[in-house]
Amino acid sequence: MATIYVDDRPYEVDPGKNLLEECLSRGLDLPYFCWHPALGSVGACRQCAVKQYRDENDQRGRIVMACMTPAMDGARISIRDKDAAQFRAGIIELLMSNHPHDCPVCDEGGECHLQDMTVMTGHNYRGYRFGKRTFRNQELGPFINHEMNRCITCYRCVRFYRDYADGKDLDAFASHNHVYFGRHEDGVLENEFSGNLVEVCPTGVFTDKTLKGHYTRKWDLQTAPSVCAHCSLGCNTIAGERYGQLRRILNRYNAEVNGYFLCDRGRFGYDFVNGDRRLRQPLLRGQPTGAPEALRRAAALLGRQSRIIGIGSPRASLEANFALRTLVGPRNFFSGMAAGEDHLVARMLRALRGARVRTPSLHEVESADAVFILGEDVTQTAPRLALAVRQAVKQAPRTEAMRLRIPRWDDAALREVMQQQKGPLYIATSGATKLDEVATASCRGAPDDVARLGFAVARALDDSAPEVAGLADGDRALAEAIAGALRAAERPVVISGSGSGGEAVIDAAAQVARALGRERTADLCFTAPECNSFGLGLLDAMNTSEAFQRVADGLVDAVVVLENDLYRRAPGAVVDAMLESAQVIAIDHSAHKTVEGAAVALPAGSFAETEGTLVSNEGRAQRFFQVFVPEGEVKPGWSWLMELAQAAGRNELATLASPDDLLAALARAVPVFAPLPEHLPTAAFRVNGEKVPRQSPRASGRTAVQADVTVHEPKPPADPDSPLAFSMEGYPQQPPSALITRFWAPGWNSVQSLNKFQSEVGGALTGGDPGVRLLEPGANGYAAYSEEIPVPFERRDGEFLVVPLYHIYGSEESSAAAPAVAERCPEPYAALNLEDARTLEVEEGALVEIEFDRALYRLPARLSAGMASGVIGVPMGIAVQGVDVPAWSPCRKV
């Protein structure tokens, strides 16, 4: 700790930080532009000028940039000093001399860092009489709108896009005051994290194009803390609503999870909530009906004497799943995951609950210094994790550079030393991945070969691990190299997941982690298929195939399907047969084939219309909150289940009335969930006796929005289920971190106000980051080495192994229904190795015929040098769904 004096007041600071960070951490207002807590300092904008004095006798001082000056012990600075204040106002005036006078039509207006800083410095009138510089804009695809005139040349966009996210297609062009930030030509921004430009850009150059389609100012959005439901990472988001429509997703900082950034699927995949596929009223065999009639019909199916089963869903909340489990009884409850998926999740959880391995948070992955990825195309299945891996790759060279006594925040200097050096990252997958470009080495193989490499690495790390028989010399050398890198690292991470479809791959990753964890607990990170897969895995239910079997055996009268499209879990013929032989009650937010075929379909709320708890791939249980009250007869899944139980005269759910009750009952029924009720905020929670408002104090139109229907303003909807209120009234100050509905502080209207919510800049939120970790390394858990090492993959004549491929846009069910994301979905294809294509005499785009899992597919071939030999990759959710892969298939040219 060091002491600095700001305007003659002493502050305890961390000498490893710079003055700007420390001033902001201490709650002092100092304007800045180019500095970003995750990107470091470059001293480009000259906005954070302060006066520094040599000692207490120094009266003159000198102007320094706070972001480029270390917070050294005894430093004396002044923010209020007249010269410094004038300097800052001058800089703003200069930046504003070309600003285009278009705040009224700018989507950033009202949450603009430039507006805030301009007001903060006091500049208010353009004194420059001459013309303004102008630029032409570019068309950057469905996510991002470009308005280059608003640029103040802080370089944050390219520093994020190129330096942080390793994007290639955004750059600074031209020179002097013509510097232009864009692509070399119009076109879609390719990087998966382009949406963060919206938050990184301090002005309105890059804005959210999906928001523009239904534009609302920040102060009018009704917002609630949410958790992204589009992959298993559980990134924290803020979802905003206006006029009954979900309008945008913003990042909600959580130092342990997503930090400052989200992926584009999470940010732009929300529009399915407003989509025309939404179910807004109950259906009877596809025909719309009223809720009482639907309940009556459903209740008739669920009578006391009827044999019912429940199929849950890994994309529904714990509360809804547990309500269904309670209604039908644990012995009749199925996880909703396909058999393959279920086994994968079970294996992952078994590894993580065992001794010697620990599941790291995303933040811990970021600070890893060696990474080994087995069988998972992280960029496509868990994009934000790929961004963390990209930071991990920079970790080792950065540590090396910091030996030259360059502080952590001095970004430009560190990069100068680091150049293109990369830390160890090894990838073994069946198809090429985007992370290959930063990998030390990446190798391709069928899932079994990938697993064998993993087992070989474990063996190289620890002699007591079982030997891999018949390993090629090249693979052995690679395994030695990987083992060496992992052993040398201070904080190695092994990453794997369900993406390869191979159980052996997961075992291999666990084996590596156990071998690494001989001396100390090793980090093992798994990606799960869906947002609550781990939650369902921990509920320990039977899988969906068993449900189908039970129906086929004639042991079931009625099936309740909760938020699940069974056609994505099993071959169509199997589901068709089930829909015919049993009465199905489907509860979901969108219409799909299962809903259409169900006897009764009930409209459930999406993530924005309900509240619930999800368990992320880290084993972190996080609560998301209802953002708005939906139109029509939409209700939360658990609420429908309670009404169903009541209508059918069943008393299983009679004592449970709210999600809090469900959570408490869950904690009692399943020990692993025991910590939930005390750590997650319950509905009874109040700050100073008040609820936390979802609306900003400046929310407008209260007496006009519904005036066309009636001038008698209705009472705002009550929310008995959460500590939040559908109102602008409530506790006006910062709520606890799990209940942050928006980032705003007086004078800080933009997302940069986040500084005011953190214990220190870039650190944990005040009061600790939200979420409860449910998986900690078990003391005496399962930790023995697996002996089940698969035999080497062997090609077959005329047959190929079909392996799953994933796409960030398209593979995930709900985000693919959002128009902006749908625009980015690829067409179906089958990926083949070049050599295999030559043997099959297939050219790029030619149709190939594959047949597996009782279905025939004709897909255009995509030739890829990155595919392993002897396998065919098919994009899941795009070309095929509901199939059990890897599977052998004949392959013919059509």
Partner 1 sequence: MLSMLRTIWTVFLHLFRRPVTVQYPEEKPYLPPRYRGRIILSRDPDGDERCVGCYLCSAACPVDCIALQAGEREDGRRYPEWFRINFSRCIFCGLCEEACPTYAIQLTPDFELCDFDRQSLVYEKKDLLIDGTGKYPGYNFYRVAGLAISGKDKGASENEDKPVDVKSLLP
End-to-end CA separation in angstroms for the chain = 71
Cβ at position 180, least distance to partner 1 in Å = 4
Rank residues 221 and 345 by Cβ distance to partner 1 and give the closer one: 221
Pattern of binders to partner 1 over 171-210, x per CB under 8 A?
Answer: --xxxx-x-x-x----------------------------
Pattern of binders to partner 1 over 85-114, x per CB under 8 A?
Answer: ---------------xxxxxx---xx----
How would DSSP label each residue in 778-831? -SSS--PPP--PPPPP--BTTEEEEEEE--TTTSSTTGGGSHHHHTTPPPP-EE
Cβ at position 45, least distance to partner 1 in Å = 20
Structural Rg of the chain based on CA atoms: 28
Q: Does 220 bind partner 1 (CB under 8 A)?
A: yes
Pattern of binders to partner 1 over 710-749, x per CB under 8 A?
Answer: xx--------------------------------------
Q: Which amino acid is at 731?
A: Y
Rank residues 80 and 698 by Cβ distance to partner 1 and give the closer one: 698
Q: Does 127 bind partner 1 (CB under 8 A)?
A: no
Which of 554, 701, 767, 845 binds partner 1 (CB under 8 A)? It is 701
Cβ at position 710, least distance to partner 1 in Å = 7
Q: How far apart are CA 596 and CA 28, in angstroms?
A: 58
Number of chain residues interacting with partner 1 (CB under 8 A) = 46
Q: How far apart are CA 813 and CA 265, in angstroms?
A: 11
Rank residues 212 and 795 by Cβ distance to partner 1 and give the closer one: 212
Tell me, letter by letter, the H, E, C secondary structure of 175-218: CHHHCEEECCCCCCCCCCCCCHHHHHCCCCCEEEHHHHCCCCCH
Cβ at position 607, least distance to partner 1 in Å = 24
Q: Does 703 bind partner 1 (CB under 8 A)?
A: yes
Rank residues 686 and 698 by Cβ distance to partner 1 and give the closer one: 698
Site for partner 1 in 227-246 (CB under 8 A): 243
Cβ at position 281, least distance to partner 1 in Å = 25
Beta strand 799-805 with 855-863 is unpaired
Long-range contacts of 83-87 (CB under 8 A, 24+ apart): 83/51, 84/49, 84/50, 84/51, 85/121, 85/122, 87/46, 87/49, 87/63
Q: Does 212 bind partner 1 (CB under 8 A)?
A: yes
Is the link from the previous residue into 636 a cis peptide, with omega within 30 of 0?
no
Rank residues 355 and 699 by Cβ distance to partner 1 and give the closer one: 699
Rank residues 181 and 372 by Cβ distance to partner 1 and give the closer one: 181
User: CA quadruple 827, 853, 375, 517: dihedral positive or negative?
Assistant: positive
Report residue 519 CA to chain centroid gap: 32
Cβ at position 137, least distance to partner 1 in Å = 8
Q: Does 707 bind partner 1 (CB under 8 A)?
A: yes
Rank residues 246 and 848 by Cβ distance to partner 1 and give the closer one: 246
Around 874, how many Cα atoms within 13 Å sit in the side-chain half-sphere?
Answer: 30
8 Å CB contact between 339 and 666 = no
Cβ at position 15, least distance to partner 1 in Å = 43
Going edge to edge, which strands form the sheet with 357-358?
357-358, 522-527, 492-497, 370-374, 425-429, 441-444
Q: Which residues contact 573 (CB under 8 A, 6 or more apart)?
A: 854
Rank residues 655 and 710 by Cβ distance to partner 1 and give the closer one: 710
Cβ at position 406, least distance to partner 1 in Å = 32
Question: Which token pair is 529?
Answer: 């298929």
Rank residues 577 and 705 by Cβ distance to partner 1 and give the closer one: 705
Phi and psi angles of residue 240, each rounded to the nearest 5 degrees, phi first: -120, 140
Cβ at position 832, least distance to partner 1 in Å = 40
Give SS3 for 310.
Answer: strand
Pattern of binders to partner 1 over 133-172, x per CB under 8 A?
Answer: xxxxx---------x-xx----------------------
8 Å CB contact between 534 and 349 = yes
Given the rule CB under 8 A, which residues bind partner 1? Answer: 100-105, 109-110, 130-137, 147, 149-150, 173-176, 178, 180, 182, 212, 214-217, 219-220, 243, 698-705, 707-708, 710-711
